[in-house]
Amino acid sequence: MTVNKANNTHDGNDDFVAELSTAVQEEKIRRKWKVVYTEDNDDTDSRQELEEKGYTLPEYAFTVDCDGIESKESGQLDVRGWIKKQIVYRYTNKPMINLPYKLFTTNGKLVSEGKSDNSGYISVENIKIGRYKLCLGENDGL
């Protein structure tokens, strides 16, 4: 089985990105791939996104080819990100363990909250690509 990955363009002429092989297991197709950022500024929507956010995101979709039969194209896949940051004391460089944190969008919406781990790391996965405000300690962050 082959999974064909394409970078969607607004003019309908998708740019082929990669061909990935995989197998069906337990009636499911599972395949991971690494997204490598390439600026997408070849249309009006992308230029507007660049002006508003300062960056653009690639727009991916895929098709599946099984024994010569190709599927319809998937819906647009979202590119997701993560934050991993070690918090340490300034002068000793020792990790700050169990430090409360809150992560907000730039417009103040709470995305995640928790405490740093035993090595002082704060990890938040599966978040939209963008800018965030990380607040440390017991304050409400706003």
Look at residues 7, 29, 133, 131 and name the one whose alpha carbon lies nearest to residue 81. 131
Tokens of 17: 């990105």
- What distance in Å separates the CA atoms of residue 123 and residue 116, rounded to the nearest whole number? 8
Q: Is the pTM of this model over 0.75?
A: no
On whether the CB atoms of residues 63 and 70 are closer than 8 A, the answer is: yes
pLDDT tens track for 27-65: 877 777 666 655 555 655 667 766 776 666 666 777 777
Least confident of 8-22, 51-65, 86-100, 111-125: 8-22
The CATH number for 80-136, chosen from 2.60.40.10, 1.20.1250.20, 3.40.50.10420, 3.40.350.10, is: 2.60.40.10
**Of 11-15, 91-95, 112-116, 137-141, which gets the smallest average pLDDT?**
11-15
d(CA 122, CA 40) in angstroms, rounded, equals 31
pLDDT above 70 covers a percentage of the chain that reads 66
* Residue whose token pair is 């069906």: 24
